[in-house]
Copies of this chain bind each other. A is one copy, B any other.
């Protein structure tokens, strides 16, 4: 829900204060992830690139920041019966890990088509796995059923201020590690990552440019920005299994007001960027994780005069949970 304050100004689900609180809350649990650079990729893109390696976050993705903040925000009473989520993967593992650290149960509803390695991660962290059909109705109805049975707390993977605040800690770190950054590119799906990143970065440097990268086959964010309201699409079709969700009512106002542009890329551009990540950066990203690099190398970015001043570009490599078999198939398909 959006919250209207008394004087009519819209408030957002998170802000710099909730993000700094999150940082204090989670800093002893999370990894401060490294920032990599590559002269070869700088030359290829014509910019200086700063790769924030969130694939080296615990659980293999940025999601642990938000999940950890949400779980440790709960009072002891709230936490006692555990937490629930429905997620195709990285948030699920992240929540299981955070719950394990807090010593409470985690009930994870996972669609049947989720990548095997992501399901294994949930199991590794002790999450209790409940399978559902691969559509939002089944995810939500299964969650409601488990909720009733257990009395646990539902923690949404992106449409939650606590999650958004956790993800925002990436910008606090990144702009300390590379203060010269004038542009940040992050993947967009449900919008939790980019909402947190944008809020924190714009507070630190209002002139910073925030760009979202999105697959053409799941371009609801680009359509929403163009329409000025949330647009959902009947079907998504992309190799980036982490980028198939739609904006929520809490992430949308932040995306609308703080994300400067959405760059859409083809699946083959994502695969090509992944290969560069493997062969040049030596980092084993998942497809969703490589989309920021794909965006920087796309003609839509390179040839657009609006982006000619994007000289120092932070790229969030959001995760690295990938089945090698699936990965290769995606190379073969090109």
**Copies per complex of this chain:** 2
Least Cβ distance of A32 to chain B in Å? 12
Residue A252, interface by CB 8 Å: no
Residue A307, interface by CB 8 Å: no
Find chain B residues with CB under 8 A from A323 CB. 279
Least Cβ distance of A234 to chain B in Å? 33
Which of chain A's residues 277-310 have a Cβ closer than 8 Å to chain B?
277-279, 281-285
Considering the complex, give the chain B residue whose CB is closest to the CB of A319: B282
Residue A112, interface by CB 8 Å: no
Across the interface, A284 reaches (CB within 8 A) one of B56, B60, B124, B284, namely: B284
Across the interface, A275 reaches (CB within 8 A) one of B56, B277, B324, namely: B324
Residue A210, interface by CB 8 Å: no
Considering the complex, give the chain B residue whose CB is closest to the CB of A328: B328
Q: Is the CB of B324 within 8 A of A56?
A: no
Residue A117, interface by CB 8 Å: yes
Q: How big is chain A's contact interface, by range? A: 20 to 34
Find chain B residues with CB under 8 A from A248 CB. none
Find chain B residues with CB under 8 A from A321 CB. 279
Least Cβ distance of A129 to chain B in Å? 18
How far is B284's CA from A192's CA once the two chains are assembled, in angstroms?
Answer: 28
Q: Is the CB of B124 within 8 A of A282?
A: no
Residue A322, interface by CB 8 Å: yes
- Determine chain A's interface SS by DSSP, over half rule: helix
Which of chain A's residues 14-55 have a Cβ closer than 8 Å to chain B?
34, 36, 40, 55
Residue A196, interface by CB 8 Å: no
Residue A331, interface by CB 8 Å: yes
Q: Is the CB of B324 within 8 A of A331?
A: yes
Find chain B residues with CB under 8 A from A40 CB. 124
Q: Is the CB of B284 within 8 A of A324?
A: no
How far is B36's CA from A173's CA once the two chains are assembled, in angstroms?
Answer: 19
Q: Is the CB of B275 within 8 A of A320?
A: no
Least Cβ distance of A185 to chain B in Å? 20
Q: Is the CB of A324 within 8 A of B278?
A: yes
Least Cβ distance of A25 to chain B in Å? 22
How far is B322's CA from A117's CA once the two chains are assembled, in angstroms?
Answer: 23
Given A40-B124, A124-B40, A284-B284, A279–B34 Cβ distance below 8 Å? no
Considering the complex, give the chain B residue whose CB is closest to the CB of A60: B282
How far is B117's CA from A283's CA once the two chains are assembled, in angstroms?
Answer: 16
Find chain B residues with CB under 8 A from A282 CB. 55-56, 60, 283-285, 320
| A-B complex: 9 closest residue pairs judged by Cβ atoms | A282-B320, A278-B284, A282-B284, A328-B328, A55-B282, A284-B284, A275-B324, A117-B279, A278-B324
Query: What are 19 residue pairs bridging A and B, where the CB atoms are less than 8 Å apart in the complex?
Result: A36-B56, A40-B124, A55-B282, A56-B282, A117-B279, A277-B284, A278-B284, A278-B322, A279-B284, A279-B321, A279-B323, A279-B324, A282-B283, A282-B285, A282-B320, A283-B283, A283-B284, A284-B284, A328-B328
- Point out residues on A near B: beta carbons under 8 Å: 34, 36, 40, 55-56, 60, 117, 124, 275, 277-279, 281-285, 320-324, 328, 331
